[in-house]
Structure 1
Amino acid sequence: MNMKDIFTKALEEPLKNELSEPQIASLIEHPKHEAHGDLAFPCFQLAKSMKKPPHMIAQELSEVVASQEIEKAVAAGPYVNVFFKRRKISAGILEEILRKGAEYGSNTTGEKGNTVFDFSSPNIAKPFSMGHLRSTIIGQALANIAEKNGFNCVRINHLGDWGTQFGKLMCAYTRWGAEDDVRKCPIPTLMKYYVDFHEKAENDPSLLEEGRAWFKKLELGDGEATKLWKWFRDESLKEFERVYDLLGIRFDHVQGESFYNDKMTPVVAELTEKGLLTKSEGAYVVETGPGKPPCLITKTDGTTLYATRDLAAAVYRKTTFDFAKSVYVVGAEQQLHFDQIKNVLRKMGREWEKDMVHVPFGLILKDGKKMSTRKGKIILLEDVLKDAISQAEENIALKNPALENKAATAREVGVGAVVFHDLKNERMNSVEFSLEQMLTFEGETGPYVQYTNVRARSILTKARAEGTPQEGLEDDASWAVVKELHEFPDVVRRAWQTYEPSVIARYLLSLASAFNKYYGKVKILENDDCLGDRLSVVASVSIVLQEGLRLLGIKAPRQM
């Protein structure tokens, strides 16, 4: 029972000569103060066509707006404000949530179209750092939200497992590396070699040439280069899996850049055949327009680049999955790269490039600066997650030492704190790394939302019932919660339309706040005629909180 739809329908007849139904719906808003009504319609836009001042139009509309669900409509200056029949609306909303359960808020916008998500994509032979947290959890949340909006999702981890950097690493390993050291402590040791390489290359540029030569050998299938590459890759995947397991992240396909080795030749051949390749200083490029940098396809030594592999990946994914959308959750600094890829595909006649979407995000900063793997300035994500879990264990030992399944709960709460701390921020905002803030469990945090759900479940356990909406509720405290619950389907749509998980996170904080105020004001378990309705509010809040947390990739513990 969507209140916005009800109000739109009520305005449709009196405004049939002025605005369409979608136009009316787009103008409806929430009053700044709850006392002014449940929804408001501004009349400014009608002044010119109706040749009347907005306040007069509002007055006239307030006298003709009618619906079985609307209690009254009043003019407030240039606005028409409506108050709904609380009992009728609340009973309908709560009945819908309890009937649908976790399906509440789902819609069929996607019409089961395939949507490919390219996210996380760490580089092999390097630690899984905090720098990869954002792509990983934003990508997972957006895939969950897309499914809620009716899409079939294909989750792909496009590993950085090819390129000149592996030639540099092979150069470093063969020059001063030790097999025993790598086997004892694989990723930190390989990382040290990589950092050492760049430090030494500043004084010895010949190392850069040697690194490029090693990558050339790898691309040509050289046995020694291939053996080293596979070893580095296997060790990296073991480390990555530990982190993904902690985060609860899953992929349908792990297809690194190397997966497209045999798929690049047809792309380069097509570019050549269509006369799109231009030789530039020994390399081959595709011009992308006046004043724009060209897209580099092959280097002077014939080796391929990130762009070549991304072109091959795009063609493969369209052919394999016939995607309705292909979403790349990659940092904002890659905007030019994706503009170039789409430009080249457009020149190739691939009209579906318009369905490729780059979802950028800001950085995680340390002391206001970007973390640099090359310079060794990184913070390991696994360490942060373990610190968060440890902090959660301390909190449980202090506040609820008798809790069963302490370790599992601490993991859910600790990891949830890290994930929520990131996702509550708009994705384009850079986030300053602060372990202290990340592990604060009070205030606007994941554990606050998780605990609110635990509180709701505890009430239902005490009542030994989920509740059934009967007459509905009309008191202010109940109505505030019901209105928040009513917003969830719209929040789900908006989060997908804007590719913005923070819309879900901020909503959960708002719902949790409304419920905790309700808990403080109302004697929920009082045995009177409204007990069933109040318990249905509690059960509905728990359903929506759990589903909202799931969309963000966060667990909802039963106890804390």
Structure 2
Amino acid sequence: MLMKSAAAAIAPHLPSITAEQLLGMLEVPPKREMGDVCLPCFTFAKTLRQSPQMIAERLAGQVNSGGGNGEEAFGGGIRASAIGGYLNLFFADAHWKSDIVEAALEEGYGLSAVGQDKRVVIDMSSPNIAKPLGIGHLRSTMIGNALVNLYRATGYKAENVNHLGDWGTQFGKLIVAYRRWGTREALESEPIKESLRLYVKFHEEIEREPGLEDEAREAFANLENGDDETRRLWQYFVDESMKEFHRVYARLGVKFDHYLGESFYNDKIDGVVSALREQALLEESDGAQVVRLEELGLPPCIILKKDGSTIYGVRDLATAIYRKQEMHADEILYVVGAEQSLHFRQVFAVLEKMGHSWAEECRHVPFGLMTVNGKKMSTRKGKVVFLEEVLDEAVERALQIILEKSPELKDKEKVAKAVGVGAVIFGDLKHHRQLSVDFNLEDAVSFDGETGPYLQYTHARIRSLLARGNYSVLGDSYSVNGSHLASESTWECAKTLSRYETVLQEAVKDNEPFVVARYLLDLAKDFNRFYNSGKILTADADKAVVFSQLSLAAAVANVLSHGLAMLGIEAPQEM
């Protein structure tokens, strides 16, 4: 809100730039004495042929004199100064507090339409069939889920796709392992754990019997050629895996618009290969069919292996084309680990060589590796931390803390589920996505520090405060008055509240849920400073003052609840 107002005040004096463009340039000064919002003027020095300080001084004078859209337009609520090449704007806090709080109390606060009429397809989670959902799957699933929510909150038509790994040579390996060392009884008893055991067994035995690799290739070729027995076994693995996946996704609160695995695109691959041949883009290399990308400094993109079987490069080409032509995507995001960056550069480059100009709207959203207590996970070696087991333990720990601190709480088990699952999700999303994350459950479930439970507790604490203060009843007689929010801590809290819409847009622009997580922590800290600066509910308190203070608290609770929902986390009313 303040950022928008600042951009509107400055834009008339910089005719070469729009208020919307200015929004992306405005900053929050590191210290209050430097202003509430600032604009670095260094960017304009070259085009305006003036020093940044001269530009800042000119703008400050124009904003202060009104100029049709400066101080006068905002009722005397903005003052400007120029220091070190920065234009610093100071907002009269009493003038703005009531506007900010009232706006933040409105339903839909923070939402915008910047992406109106644009459709974005988000590829996320994408586990492999017949393998467990491990803690490593958390990143793609929850980063992707947050992005879906954020894109929708900023006006996009967002659809998410679970691009299941249900095709490829790994199924040949699993089928060989089952036929050699598996039984139907063991598989039906624990389908995923038994599948994992067989997969690990295959990779242990291949070191002693290299010929197993050829058996696996043959088994997968049979699958591609439609062998009935092989197909039935493959379908069994798919069906049992989906049951497990649905259960875990339900616990995480994640829903998908489409489950379209790699096998879905099998009948679309021949068209891609034919198009590549017609455009003379396919070349032979050591028996394989490839598209060369040397001019881009990239290795060749393999399309068909020596035996003629497909590889995931050509399947991703078919997938992208389907999402553009059939799903009508304006943008396609791939929330996939950073280790696949080269692969996506190759795929997007081949799309461009095929003449698909929309390839520039395909973007890889990479994220760093997740380790557990410093250890990397590996399904081949059986080193997997099951995500469902992590959620179980997180919920149990949350329940124990609740039993110790609030044994009288109603619906303890329900709250523990929200807190435990939320702790795991926030423990991931509070990090920049491209950083590696070393997950520690004890730290994540803590109610102290920068954690999900800390945010949930702050929200619940505010709801309790509002109930004790009869906030809804007071609202029948009083209105928000900025002069009743006199302390410095209330202004800092209000300023942070005012940034919410900008924060959501920034998170979408950078495909970075961390921006929202960091903002919520800042907001909670600002509120707690205000809350601890003096008692709100006292016997002799002026009810008009109490109402304004409770309104600020209610506005914070609304934004905390909405922001947590953006990240896929519940906000319990009581804790």
- With the length of structure 2 as denominator, give the TM-score of the two structures: 0.92
- Deviation of 1:143 after TM superposition, in Å, equals 0.6
Q: Which residue of structure 2 aligns with residue 545 of structure 1?
A: 560
Match of 1:240 among 242, 245, 255: 245
Question: Equivalent residue for 1:430?
Answer: 436
Partner residue, 1:3: 2
Counterpart of 2:67 in structure 1 is none
AA partner of residue 73 (structure 1): A
The one of 85, 100, 111 equivalent to 2:116 is 111
Q: For residue 239 of structure 1, report the CA deviation from its aligned partner.
A: 1.2
Aligned residue number for residue 90 of structure 2: 83
Q: How does 1:57-206 map to 2 (within 5 A)?
A: 58=56, 61-66=59-64, 67=71, 68-76=75-83, 78-99=85-106, 101=107, 103-206=108-211
1:490 maps to 2:490 = no
Question: Is contact 2:56–2:85 with CA below 8 Å preserved after alignment?
Answer: yes
Give the 3 Å change call, closer, same or farther, for CA 155–45 of structure 1 in structure 2. closer
Q: Distance in 2 between matches of 1:270 and 1:50?
A: 50
Aligned residue type for 2:527: F
Instruction: Quote the offset at 1:191 in angstroms.
Output: 0.7
Give runs of aligned pairs for residues 145-544 of structure 1, distance below 5 A.
145-290=150-295, 291-366=297-372, 368-466=374-472, 467=475, 469-472=479-482, 473-525=485-537, 526-544=541-559
Q: Identify if the C-alpha distance between structure 1 residues 25 and 536 changes in structure 2 by more than 3 Å, giving closer, same or farther.
A: same
Instruction: Give yes or no for contact 2:2–2:499 (8 Å, CA) kept in 1.
Output: no
Mapped partners of 1:80, 1:318: distance in 2: 44
The 2-side partners of 1:97 and 1:487 are apart by 10
Gap change, CA 1:300 and 1:15, over 3 Å in 2 = closer
Q: Report the Cα distance in structure 1 between the residues aligned to 2:17 and 2:276, rounded to whole angstroms.
A: 49
Give 1:469 deviation, angstroms: 4.2
Cα distance 1:344–1:48, how it changes in 2: closer, same or farther (>3 A)?
Answer: closer
Corresponding residue SS for 1:73 = strand
Moved more, 73-82 or 242-251: 73-82
User: Pick from 26, 29, 34: which aligns with 2:27?
Assistant: 29
Q: Is the alpha carbon distance of 1:446 and 1:25 closer, same or farther for their aligned partners in structure 2, counting shifts above 3 Å?
A: closer
* Contact 2:176–2:215 under 8 Å retained in 1: yes
* Residues 4 and 23, structure 2, Cα contact 8 Å, conserved in 1: yes
Could you say if the C-alpha distance between residues 304 and 89 of structure 1 is closer, same or farther in structure 2, counting changes exceeding 3 Å?
same
2:543 alignment partner, SS class: coil
Summarize the Cα distance change of 1:25–1:151 in structure 2 as closer, same or farther, 3 Å threshold. closer
Q: Deviations over 1:391-414 (max 9, x none)?
A: 011011111111111111100000
2:68 aligns with none
CA distance in 1, matches of 2:225, 2:520: 52
Q: Are residues 156 and 311 of structure 1, via their aligned partners in 2, closer, same or farther at CA, if it must alter by over 3 Å?
A: same
Distance 1:69 1:237, change over 3 A: farther
Aligned-pair Cα RMSD in Å: 2.1
Over 3 Å counting, the alpha-carbon distance change for 1:61 and 1:267 in structure 2 is: closer
Q: 1:14 to 1:348 in 2, by over 3 A?
A: closer
Aligned pair in 2 of structure 1 residues 335, 90: CA closer, same or farther (>3 Å)? same
Unaligned ranges ≥5, structure 1: none
Structure-2 change in CA distance of 1:150 and 1:21 (3 Å): closer
Q: Deviations over 1:439-472 (max 9, x none)?
A: 3232100000001110111111112224464332
Change (3 A) 1:15 1:214: closer
Question: Can you give the 5+ residue segments of structure 2 that lack an aligned partner in the other structure?
Answer: 65-70
Residues 344 and 536 of structure 1, relative CA distance in 2, 3 Å threshold: same
How many residues align? The count is: 556
Cα distance, 1:299–1:79 mapped onto 2, change above 3 Å: closer
Contact 1:88 1:471 in 2 (8 A): no
User: CA separation of 1:51/1:128 partners in 2, compared to 1, >3 Å: closer, same or farther?
Assistant: closer
Hey, what's the Cα distance between the residues in 1 that align with 2:441 and 2:246? 23
Give the secondary-structure state (helix, strand or coil) at the position aligned to 1:432.
strand
| SS in structure 1 at match of 2:302 | strand
Q: Distance in 2 between matches of 1:284 and 1:49?
A: 51
Kindly provide the amino acid, as one letter, of the partner of residue 276 in structure 1.
Answer: L
Q: 1:40 — aligned with what? A: 38
Change (3 A) 1:227 1:89: same
CA distance in 2, matches of 1:234, 1:86: 59
Task: Give 1:409's aligned amino acid.
Answer: V
